[in-house]
Amino acid sequence: MSSQHTGYGLSDEHRAVRQMVREFGENEIEPVAAAYDQSHEYPFEIIEQAAQLDLVAPGAPLEYGGAGMDTLSAAIVTEELWRADPGIGCAIGNNGFSTNVYLLTEYGDEWMCEEWLSKIVDGQAHDAIAVSEAAHGSDVSGIETRARKDGDEWVIDGNKMWISNGTVADVVVVFAKTNPDAGHRGISAFLVPTDRAGVRAEPIDDKLGIHAADLGEMLFDGVRVPEDHLIGEENQGFYYFMESLADGRVTVAAQAVGTMQAALDAAIEYAREREQFGQPIAEFQGVQHMIAEMATKVEVARDGVPRGDGRGTRRGRLDATGEHGQAVRQRAGRRGDRRRDPGPRRGWLRL
């Protein structure tokens, strides 16, 4: 009984990436995962170690210190980090998350990448993306944060909610309305260092799991940034964000598969250790059927994660970015239920 299948059609390079990240997860993350989860401590040191292995923003271009990994390699990194521990895996992945890398490299000015992306990749700076608000999650067009021009500066006012890395970020990509009457056509993106006057963050610490990953509310009260901190063109932020979600969906689907694999591994380990009627329960056909079904669905989900197209490009992918990613996340939820873990569901908030 084994759960070590690692996906179809992997090149030797992809297998080497998986092996490297798996060893890092088993040696550096798994032994301390429970302690971080219990203490709610942010894993600064582990993130620095991960950065030394190019596991922070693995798809970032080589010219900014990144590994320039293709989409499949980056997905493998994410899967293996989340297999080791969703909390620490999430903390590592939230730095240089694929949406921010896309926004800065595709639409940001060169200085933004040189000053910030290189530090993020190196583990010396932490970033966040601030889109969601208390009343606006999926409805990006309804955000209420505003940015107005005042001379050669932009002035930003508003509150952002559920922001990953919200209290630890050194820099944040903020989406705000620059033309409030234009709906989604009036949204712009800004690069905002968090040491600017008027930036404040409050932790959201009542999660039921993933405690090593930071989550917060961010408040922007008359925050001033120079006009060159606008990312791309004014009023184009909504379109930039929608473009960036393609890579983001790949990442989230890989997170789900990593969590599924961890649940399967735990189920197999338990089945081998737990004895009933004089033998491990793994010897009972009914348990074998259950685990075989779980393993099959993990592999189906893994094969559904959008992958590189074989050309070695940073953002090569299959066509099913949206629907397959959603299906993978749904399967992950069902596998978590089947595991019958007596602990709390990871990532849920207390009500």
Rg (C-alpha) for the chain, rounded Å, is 21
Query: Percent helix, strand, coil in the chain (nearest 5)?
Result: 50, 20, 30
Of the candidates 120, 105, 73, the one whose C-alpha atom is nearest the C-alpha of residue 243 is 105
Identify the pLDDT of residue 86.
Answer: 97
Q: How far apart are CA 128 and CA 220, in angstroms?
A: 14
Q: Which of 55, 134, 90, 38 is nearest to 347 (CA)?
A: 90
CA–CA gap between residue 55 and residue 221 (Å, rounded): 34
Give the SS3 label for residue 221: strand
Strand partners, 189: 175, 231
At residue 351, the pLDDT reads: 55
Amino acid at 211: H
Q: What is the set of domains in the chain, with CATH numbers? A: 12-121 (1.10.540.10), 127-238 (2.40.110.10), 240-339 (1.20.140.10)
pTM of the model: 0.84
Say what the pLDDT of residue 8 is. Answer: 52
The string of DSSP letters for 80-99 reads HHHHH-HHHHHHHHTTT-HH
Q: What is the pLDDT of residue 312?
A: 35
pLDDT of residue 348: 57
Low-confidence ranges of the chain (pLDDT < 70): 1-9, 306-351
CA angle 115, 117, 123 (to 5 degrees): 105
Q: Which pLDDT belongs to residue 205? A: 87
